[in-house]
Every structure is written in C-alpha cells, then in structure tokens.
Structure 1
Amino acid sequence: MKRRKFLKNSSTLTAGMITAPLIASSGSPLKEFRTMNNASKSNIPIAICTWDFGNATAKAWEVLNSGGNSLDAVHQGVMVEEDNLDNQTVGNGGRPDRDGNVTLDACIMDKDANCGAVLALQNIANPISVARKVMEETPHVMLVGKGAEQFAYEQGFERTNLLTEKSKQEWEEWKKTSQYKPIINIENHDTIGMLAIDKNGDIAGACTTSGMAYKMAGRVGDSPIIGAGLFVDNEVGGATATGVGEEVVRTVGSFLIVELMRQGKSPQEACEEGVKRIIAKNKDKQDFQIGFIAINKNGETGAYCIHPGFTYRTYTQEGHVNNPSGSYLES
C-alpha cells in the first residue's frame, strides 16, 4: 500500500477528533489566516529561489505560467541546476567530499505537507527526483546513502559518474593543504532552495545541494532536513535556507520562519529574526554565511543573510528579478 493511502486511512478518525479543539484554542491566528487568504494575490503565481539561478526560476515560471502546479514547478526548476555542470555546488559536477566522492542531498514538500528526502546519495544525477519518488512511492520521508541509491536504481534512475574533471582537479589541488575553510558566498553558497505558489494559491518547495566542498564523508547539512533547510505550510507560507547547514539545523531555521509568519510577521521580518537567532548562538563566531528566503500565502517575499552578497531570484507576472538581500553585517 502506498504511503498516501495508508496515512489517509489511518488519520481520518483522529483528524475529526482533534480539529474542533485546535480551532477552539487557536484564537486570533485563525482570524489572521483568513485576512491573509482574502487579501490581494497580485503576486501569484510566483517562483522564488536562493541565489542568482535565473535559469531555474525561468523553468519554474514556465510550468506555473502554463497552468502547472507548484510541486512540478519547484521540481523542474531546481533540476535545471542539478544538470548544470558549471554549478559545482549542486547535482552533477558538485564538489566532492574529502575522499573524492560526490554525495548529494535533496528534499521536496508539497501543499499537503507530504515530503521526501535523500541524504548522502551517490551516483545519481537528480536527487530531487529521487526525493519526490520517496515522497510518492514509499511510506518513508528520508532514505540515506546506499539505501537511497538502491531505491533510485529500482525506480529506473541510471548510474552516473558525478565527479567532473574540473571538480576532480580542484579536489586534487585542495588535498595539497587539506584546509577546510569554505569561502563565504563561494564554496558555501551550496544550495538551491526554491518556493512556488501556483494559480490555485498552493505552495510547494524543493531544496538540493552537493553540500560543503571537501566535507567529511557522510556529512549532511540542513538542505534535505524538513524544517531546517525547507518547510512549507500551505495555510501560511514557506521558507528555505542556504549556507552553513549546521547552524540552520541548530535553530530549525525554515520551520522557525514559517511559524513566525503564522504569528503575524511578514516574510521579511521572519527572515531577519531567523538570522538573528543564529547570530545569538554564535556571538563570537561570524565567519560563515547563512541566507534565508521566505514567501507567504499572498506571494509576499522576504530574504535576509549574515554577510552581504546573498541574492535571490523572483519570477512573477511583473518580471524576472535578481534581488539583493539585506544582511546582518554591513560590507
């Protein structure tokens, strides 16, 4: 039995039992949801992603503009960068770990809170597609390492050598010193996170990465972790992150931002608070980058980072724009 049918059958009774008490106890936030949902939606449909990945948002917009849904938009959008051999932070051609192995992480989440993820996946060029298969074809949320790879082969994915000659040569050069010092806005802008709202007002998100360059074997950051690197609540909005994933995990950053929006903060205010929470836990250490983007149910967006240099792409009926993000530290 596929997971979706199983969960639907097993949750029908309990959903009916808990709905009334939750509504009764929620107070003003429900009123805020209704106000938000009834507000102008001139920004919808919309696609937004971390960094200046304009080809990715263009693909997502192509799906949205033709009437497609947000899940397909984010899936097809981030795949553009997974297939881009010039992008050494995502997918095929990504920089390897310190042992020379390219390991990929990805997750995806739809309007109904269904989600799937793969962690430390090797030899498969499109981890976001495997993550979607995990979501749709298994009773699980996450598959890891060799198990994820075997599942991918069972689903018809082909084995691919992900280590390009360029990344291999850079790794060989790195081994001469083996110093693990990721460069802000270069080696640790290691993620494409994408959010989209379709014509029906439904939100989905996707996040995919090859992780930190020359990481320890087996290292996984925030990108494939639901709630850390990506979170979507179709009643409220969505958020995704980029940068040093360990710090995002410590604050469950994307979930935090969505919950702040639930409490009434704008996407911009929520992103700023998300960064400030991380800064508060690193008072004597600011030599790393974190960037958040967020979107609410109305298609309003926000972004914030630690160091200047982070940008994010938006694509709406008003145009296709690379936006500079505000930052906690000044240049």
Structure 2
Amino acid sequence: MKRRKFLKNSSLTSAGILSASILTSCKTEEKKETIVAVTSSIKPIVIATWNVPNSTAEAWNVLKKGGNSLDAVEIGVQMEEADVSNQSVGKGGRPDRDGNVTLDACIMDSKGNCGAVVYMQNITHAISVARKVMEETPHVMLAGKGAEQFAYEQGFPKEKLLTEKSKTEWLEWKKESKYAPVINIENHDTIGMLAIDAEGDISGACTTSGMAYKMAGRVGDSPIIGSGLFVDNEIGGATATGQGEEIVKTVGSFLVVELMRQGRSPQEACEEAVNRIIKNEPDYENIQVGYIAINKNGETGGYCIHPGFSYRVFSEKGHENVDSRSYL
C-alpha cells in the first residue's frame, strides 16, 4: 500500500512537472512570437544616396502598386539621369578633361544577377543599358564603344549629353586645369538606390557621370559590382558615393553587406566601412566617401567622412531626407 501510494504521488508529481514544462514551453513560444512581431520587416521601402525626392517618389510609386524592386530602382534613378540640373549623373553631367561626358552604371537583382556599363557616351539612361546587359547578354559588363553600340542595337537613342552649363564650367576649369574636386559637389558623382518590394526581394542600382574633369578613360566604383553596389537577398544591400578610388580599394559595398551578415546593423556596417578607408588613407580629410545600407528587415543606415551627405528614405512611415552621420 505504501509503495502504491508512493508511485501514485510520484505520478502526480511527474505530471505536474510535465505540465509545468509544457506551460513554460508555451510561454517561451509566446515570447518568441512577440519578439518576431516587434521586429517585423518594413516593406516595401526605398533608400537612395543624396536628397533626390523625385527619384525615391518615382520608385515608391512602383512599389506601392505591387511592382518589383528591380523595376523600382531602375525607374527611380532614371529620374536623375534625365535631370540636366544634376551635374553628376546622366545628361548634363560634368565632362572629363577632354570635354566628353562618359557614364557608368550597374544594376543587381534579388537573384544575384547583375549588369553594368562603363565609359559609355551619348546615351542618357545608362542604368537601363546596364539592365539590358544583364538580361540580354551572357556578360556582366560592357565598356566604351561596345556598350554604346549595344545600346543602339537595343533601341536607345543617341543624345548629346554635354549641356551648355556643364560646357561653360569645363571651359572655365581648363584655364587652370587644377584637379581638386569640391567636396559634396564635384565628387559625389553618384545616385545609388536600394529597394525592398512587397515580396521581400531586394534590388539595387547605381549610376553616375563620374568625377568632374577626370582623366579620359577613368572609371570609379559606381559600375563595379561589390564596390559601388552589392545586394544579397538573404542579408541586405549597400551602395556607395564619393571618391570611387577609395571605395574600390576596400570593395566597400560588399564589405558593408558582409558586416551585416556577421550581425552588424546597417548603421554599424556603414561606419566600419568608412573607418577602413580612414585607417588606410592619410589624406582622408580631402576626400568624401559615403555609404548607405538596408537589411532584410528594412532597417537602414548611412555614414560618411565629411558632413553634408544625406540620403532619402520612402516607406509607409513617410518620405524623409536623413542627414548622414559623419566621421568629421
């Protein structure tokens, strides 16, 4: 009887422990669900270098209608390529030392596909030619006359890219021919854009006319996958602006994404990427570099060397221009 009573009590006790364990487990699961709810993704969302409200608004129009992120970034940056008042991108861009406007661009989708054009002349929408390279050729990059000829074959019109304003400034520059690009004006040279669509897919685009009065043939970071732009659909994306030579040396945009893969926030990753440049460049006070990044959850960040760099963000939360934090 005593043994039977002991076993009965033990069974009840065991059941109580088991019930408590189940309840504890349920509570733990409830807590996990709550955490997931708090960190739910912000999508759709678009972010772009510099204060380019027309570009981010155009990209947002695509996203809010259910469009994909690749279309959004292409259409978004086209706005700046066609804006002759923007002298660092597309038509109206400042020329090289010989008076030629040469364009670089790249684009990357959520599947890791990418396309680029470098040192291309006479075509306004370099970003769209880059997309055609990605979708219509077995290559990633086309350069110079080859890129231009391919664009004509794809139906892009030949256009004069050098405006009277940019020509007048170039002729004035030639009087001294002093190569010292002005911080945040002649050396920001890029619009980079990243977007996440309603499906959670990330794409990016980057387009530029390059640094003002560069040597003929110079190519910076903007059309280089991994330097000016990189997207990993599992992690996030990053894009860069500023003195491309320094960004190329550190494969900057790839670095930012890899830092996010290791657990850093977009802000922390951008800061570390800039710090790598500062560590290796004694003359960093005379250059500008800026990064923006977005992770899979739609969290964003940006960082630069000099104050004055900003970036645009558009989501359901609103449309704002964010002054980037800076090292100096």
Secondary structure of the structure 1 residue equivalent to 2:205 = strand
Equivalence for 1:247: 246
Equivalence for 1:180: 179
Q: Does 1:300 align with 2:273?
A: no
Shift in CA distance, 46/96, structure 1 to aligned 2, threshold 3 Å: same
Rounded Cα–Cα distance in structure 1 between residues aligned with 2:131 and 2:37: 31
How far apart are residue 285 of structure 1 and its match?
3.6
Q: After the TM superposition, which of the residue ranges 298-307 and 41-50 deviates more from structure 2? A: 41-50
Native 8 Å contact 1:37 1:297 kept in 2: no
Structure 2 counterparts to residues 1-331 of structure 1, below 5 A: 40-329=39-328
Rounded Cα–Cα distance in structure 1 between residues aligned with 2:190 and 2:223: 10
Rounded Cα–Cα distance in structure 1 between residues aligned with 2:226 and 2:283: 26
Deviation string 1:61-115 (CA, Å, 9 cap, x unpaired) is: 0000000000000000000000001000000110000000000000000000000
Unaligned runs of 5+ in 2: 1-34
Unaligned runs of 5+ in 1: 1-35
How far apart are residue 41 of structure 1 and its match?
3.4
How far apart are residue 197 of structure 1 and its match?
0.1
Rounded Cα–Cα distance in structure 1 between residues aligned with 2:117 and 2:191: 15
Rounded Cα–Cα distance in structure 1 between residues aligned with 2:154 and 2:39: 42
Rounded Cα–Cα distance in structure 2 between residues aligned with 1:127 and 1:284: 32
Equivalence for 1:8: none
How far apart are residue 275 of structure 1 and its match?
0.1
TM-score of the superposition, structure 1-length normalised?
0.87
Native 8 Å contact 1:267 1:303 kept in 2: yes
Secondary structure of the structure 2 residue equivalent to 1:99 = coil
Output the amino acid matched with 2:217.
G
Q: Which structure has the larger Rg? A: 2
Native 8 Å contact 2:41 2:296 kept in 1: no
Native 8 Å contact 1:39 1:298 kept in 2: no
Secondary structure of the structure 2 residue equivalent to 1:286 = helix
Between the two proteins, the alignment pairs up a number of residues equal to 294
Deviation string 1:145-166 (CA, Å, 9 cap, x unpaired) is: 0000010011111110100111
How far apart are residue 248 of structure 1 and its match?
0.1
Rounded Cα–Cα distance in structure 2 between residues aligned with 1:268 and 1:325: 10
Deviation string 1:221-259 (CA, Å, 9 cap, x unpaired) is: 000000000000000000000000000000000000000
Rounded Cα–Cα distance in structure 1 between residues aligned with 2:181 and 2:36: 42
Secondary structure of the structure 2 residue equivalent to 1:55 = helix
Output the amino acid matched with 1:60.
A
Shift in CA distance, 181/61, structure 1 to aligned 2, threshold 3 Å: same
Rounded Cα–Cα distance in structure 1 between residues aligned with 2:260 and 2:36: 13
Shift in CA distance, 189/85, structure 1 to aligned 2, threshold 3 Å: same
Rounded Cα–Cα distance in structure 1 between residues aligned with 2:36 and 2:109: 18
Native 8 Å contact 1:117 1:143 kept in 2: yes
Equivalence for 2:21: none
TM-score of the superposition, structure 2-length normalised?
0.88
Native 8 Å contact 2:117 2:129 kept in 1: yes
Shift in CA distance, 101/37, structure 1 to aligned 2, threshold 3 Å: farther
Rounded Cα–Cα distance in structure 1 between residues aligned with 2:264 and 2:225: 21
Rounded Cα–Cα distance in structure 2 between residues aligned with 1:37 and 1:69: 25
Output the amino acid matched with 2:175.
K
How far apart are residue 42 of structure 1 and its match?
4.6
Rounded Cα–Cα distance in structure 2 between residues aligned with 1:212 and 1:272: 23
Shift in CA distance, 258/38, structure 1 to aligned 2, threshold 3 Å: farther
Q: Tell me the percent identity.
A: 72
Rounded Cα–Cα distance in structure 2 between residues aligned with 1:47 and 1:237: 12
Rounded Cα–Cα distance in structure 2 between residues aligned with 1:43 and 1:78: 22
Shift in CA distance, 275/37, structure 1 to aligned 2, threshold 3 Å: farther
